[in-house]
Amino acid sequence: MHKRLILIVDDEADLRAMMQEIFELSGYLVVTTCHGREALDYLMGAPRPHLILLDLTMPVMGGLAFLEELHCGDYPHLTSIPVVVISAVEQFVDLERFGCAGTLIKPASLDDILSTAWRAMERA
């Protein structure tokens, strides 16, 4: 069985590194990007991830703009990827229209991050 791939999109380098380490220790493959534009660029030419962990507040392209582009742009092959939003800003009401697989408020516990990610991938 192939390992599942997770894309982490967050501008906080320490948090990206911590989540990457936790998921890799749990047996996942992980790719990280620091904003939504970089994530979209990655998605256009790379293996399709099984999950996207997405921050909302980032420079260049934030999480809501990323979701808008993903769902309204020319990416129909990517819209079925489960997205879990993890953010310190509770802007979750706008996320309903994108069908996000889960939401977490920073700082979230490692157990909550892992269990929410696992549930999102199992439902997909």
The domain of 81 spans: 5-123
Considering the entire predicted model, what is its pTM?
0.93
pLDDT in tens, the chain (124 residues): 469 999 999 999 999 999 999 999 999 999 999 999 999 999 998 899 999 999 999 999 999 999 999 988 888 888 899 999 998 877 666 777 888 999 999 889 989 999 999 999 998 7
- Give yes or no for a contact between 46 and 38, defined as CB atoms under 8 angstroms apart: no
Paired strand residues for 53? 8, 84
Q: What is the CATH number of the domain that holds 76?
A: 3.40.50.2300
- What is the number of structural domains in the chain? 1
**What's the CA gap between 104 and 90, in Å, rounded?**
9
